[in-house]
Structure 1
Amino acid sequence: MKENLIFIGMPAVGKSTVGIVVAKRLGMNFIDSDLLIQEQEGKLLREIIAEVGDDGFLKIENQVNRDIQCENAVISPGGSVIYCEEAMEHFKEIGKIVYLKASYQTIKKRIRNPKKRGVVLKEGQTLKNLYDERVGYFEKYADITIDEDGCQIEETIDNVIRVVEGEA
């Protein structure tokens, strides 16, 4: 059985983009858990958040990610999944967690408008606060860290595949 790869990281690191290509190249399935959430709830993420608030959304995100049953898949959850302890424990059990790491400067360049991007910021929270808050979680859960700074997307994909195949 080939185990799963779960991508974590800030919005705009390319969890979905890198994930899809890595899955194709390694002959794996691809699961975008944000799409699973939207499918289950019958609404867009921002509509769900508007309706149930951040905490309500995290409960749904935790449940959907915790319930993913698969093998030989690349899973790309939303950036806030790291706040969902049950989901993260489940991911640790079913695969390797790959942290796509980028500096705050890189993220800031890629995300011009956090709200449009669907980035959940609490009242008065800046993107920098969010970045600083999440980095510790990413580092805590990561089995593999891929540094993206100064890399084009192709290089990031190659680096992920090189590391994963090297560990196979």
Structure 2
Amino acid sequence: MANRDNNIILIGMPASGKSTIGIVLAKALRYSFIDGDILIQNRTGMTLCDYMEKYGNESFLKLENEVNAGISCERTVIAPGGSICYATDALKHFKQIGTIIYLSIDYDMLEDRLHDARERGVVLEEGKSLLDLYNERVPLYEKYADITIAEGGSTLENLVVKIVSELTRRKLI
């Protein structure tokens, strides 16, 4: 079983920078990097959008939970998809194998970055707006996070420094 303190899991809204920050953070720490969405695409042989279109959001959420709950690694930065906040089994697993960091982004910045949520493969129920989704997910991210890092317009490099500093301060790396 992996030591709880040697993996870092980045959670947050789609377009919050989980994958981009994760890659740079992994390089800075000399960790491996796993993108949860890529794992799902590799397993299904389909893009997230195509999978959701063919099988529906509920099937996707079940698959996302299963795939992420099955990740076994050490010294790895993991960036699951934004809908991981609904994946109870995966989040319990992540709590056991690492430190969960919520990359907090304000709604205006999210809206600027994410023009068409459905084209991006975002699990968005019919009739729900991006703001509805944001308001629904933020409390879930906060609930599961060990650490919250507010992006607040910081550069990629500054965000990585913030994360490393906080992990170091808490003696997690």
The alignment's TM-score, normalised by the length of structure 2, stands at: 0.94
Q: Give the aligned partner of residue 3 of structure 1.
A: 6
Q: Corresponding residue for 1:58? A: 61
1:83-141 Cα offsets, whole Å, 9 max, x none, are 01100000000000000001111111111222222222110100000000001100000
Which residue of structure 1 lines up, in the alignment, with residue 133 of structure 2? 130
Q: 2:166 aligns with which of 160, 163, 167?
A: 163
Determine the C-alpha separation between the residues in 2 that align with 1:73 and 1:150.
26
Letter in structure 1 aligned against 2:167: V
The answer to whether 1:115 aligns with 2:118 is yes
Question: Which of residues 30, 41, 54 is equivalent to 1:38?
Answer: 41
Residue 32 of structure 1 and its aligned partner are, at CA, apart by 0.4
Q: Secondary structure at the match of 1:163?
A: helix
Aligned equivalents of 1:160, 1:90: Cα separation in 2: 21
Helix, strand or coil at the partner of 2:56: helix
Partner in structure 2 of residue 19 of structure 1 = 22
Post-superposition shift, 1:33?
A: 1.0
2:18 is matched by which residue type in structure 1?
A: K
**Deviation readout 1:47-100 (Å, 9 max, x if unpaired):** 111111000001110100000000100000000011011000000000000000
Task: Give the Cα–Cα distance (whole angstroms) in 2 for the partners of residues 40 and 28 of structure 1.
Answer: 23
- Larger mean CA deviation between 36-45 and 72-81 belongs to 36-45
CA drift at 1:151: 1.3
1:71 maps to which of 74, 85, 88: 74
5+ residue gaps in structure 2? none
1:144 offset after TM fit, Å?
Answer: 0.5
Q: What percent of counterpart residues are identical?
A: 47
Question: How many angstroms apart in 1 are the aligned matches of 2:51 and 2:115?
Answer: 23
Number of aligned residue pairs: 168
SS for the counterpart of 1:31 is strand
Q: Does 1:145 align with 2:148?
A: yes
Secondary structure (helix, strand or coil) at the match of 1:55 reads: helix
Which secondary structure does the structure 2 equivalent of 1:59 belong to?
helix
C-alpha distance in 2 between matches for 1:151 and 1:45? 29
